[in-house]
Copies of this chain bind each other. A is one copy, B any other.
Amino acid sequence: MNICTYSYEEYVHLVKSFHGTLAPGLLIGGFMVDLAMKNLPEGEFFDAVCETPVCLPDAVQILTPCTVGNGWLSVVPFGKFAVTLYEKYAGEGVRVYLDTKKLDGWPEIRDWYLKKKKKQDQDSEKLFSQIKEAGHGLFGLQRVRVEADKVRRNKMGAVAVCPQCGEAYPTRDGQKCLGCQGGSPYKDILPVSAGA
């Protein structure tokens, strides 16, 4: 069974190259994106929503023109294994989700997905072969209309130079940048001159 324009083996190769490891979620995600692509509503330009940051965004980034950096892929933190492709202007879309009612036919996938087995008790070979065999058989499909303003990132808006760090930031964040307002995840900051 193909995944979009790739053979299963070609997709596996792309996953290893982009994602680093052959994660079960990325194989399932490949089939999900494939099913969504085969059920697109009419339209020319499609944006994507992933309902988890885990694995699934990479399937979208490998298989569609939508990426995090170009803003056509939005990630919403629902922790749900579901992906939606939608026409970017009217919002008409198709949502593919992992249907828990269909998992009983694939016990190794079920136990992995619902965390019924510890990692060391999982049978990887069986898991991967069930994923390949199941293909689209794990999924449910819905037509949806996406309220794009709820998922798309905000426009950057006006920028200014932060009076504290001297870097540019969006003025919508206030008198100084969010890092200097206490959000910085950095400690022990030490300026250095470039080494190359």
- Rounded to whole angstroms, the CA-CA distance of A122 and B58 in the bound complex is 33
Choose among B35, B76, B151, B168 the residue that contacts A80 (Cβ–Cβ < 8 A): B168
Please give the distance in Å from A121's CB to the nearest CB on chain B: 17
Please give, as numbers and ranges, the residues of chain B lying within 8 Å of A79 by CB-CB distance: 156, 159, 169-170, 173, 177-178
Q: Which of A5-13, A123-131, A140-148 binds B?
A: A140-148
- Rounded to whole angstroms, the CA-CA distance of A9 and B105 in the bound complex is 49
Interchain CB contact under 8 A, A142 and B78: no
Interchain CB contact under 8 A, A188 and B145: yes
Please encode chain A, from 169 to 196, with 1 for each CB lying within 8 Å of some chain B CB and 0 for all others: 1100100011100010111111111111
Q: Which size class do A's interface residues fall under?
A: 35 or more
Please give, as numbers and ranges, the residues of chain B lying within 8 Å of A106 by CB-CB distance: none
Please give, as numbers and ranges, the residues of chain B lying within 8 Å of A139 by CB-CB distance: 194
Choose among B70, B150, B156 the residue that contacts A19 (Cβ–Cβ < 8 A): B70
Please give, as numbers and ranges, the residues of chain B lying within 8 Å of A84 by CB-CB distance: 186
* 25 pairs, CB–CB < 8 Å, chain A vs chain B: A20-B72, A39-B196, A51-B179, A53-B68, A53-B69, A53-B71, A53-B153, A78-B178, A79-B156, A79-B177, A80-B167, A80-B168, A80-B177, A93-B186, A98-B167, A100-B166, A101-B166, A114-B168, A115-B159, A141-B192, A142-B189, A144-B186, A144-B187, A145-B187, A148-B185
- Considering only residues 47-61 of chain A, those with a C-beta below 8 Å from chain B are 49, 51, 53-59, 61
- Rounded to whole angstroms, the CA-CA distance of A60 and B139 in the bound complex is 31
